[in-house]
Copies of this chain bind each other. A is one copy, B any other.
Amino acid sequence: MTAEILSTQHSEHAILIREINKKMPDTRRLETLAGLYRAFGDPTRMRILWALSYSELCVNCIAEMMDMTQSAISHQLSFLKQVRLVKFRRDGKTIYYSLNDSHIATILAQGMDHIQELAAD
């Protein structure tokens, strides 16, 4: 669908659209940003991230906490690793995961504030 075949657009609208398009971050960057939020957008990953905000944890510990299989957790950790939300260190056989930086805990807390406010309506 192209812009041309859209029905009558008031000229004021056309101007507004151009202005906002100039200010908008480019689409690639917004896709990256959406990708970041997608990582927070699943209950399992959300619980993992929240748990890691308290302490580094090994894979089996997380699996036990979430009452889920080690495989499921490992897949999700792999996802979180890819988008660089978590890092890990090996100690013998066990691997400890932790949040990649403190910024992430801040994002979690801010989101929690938001839903808290909504609930207070």
Chain A positions within 8 Å of B, measured between CB atoms, are 1-3, 6-7, 9, 13, 16-17, 19-21, 23-25, 27, 29-43, 45-47, 50-51, 54-55, 57-58, 60-61, 63-65, 67-69, 84, 101, 103-104, 106-108, 110-115, 117-118
Contacts and interface: CB of A to CB of B under 8 A. Distances in A.
A17 B40 CA distance: 21
Contact of A50 (B30, B35, B115): B30
B115 A106 contact: no
B111 A3 contact: no
Given A6-B63, A38-B38, A32 B115 contact: yes
A20 B55 contact: yes
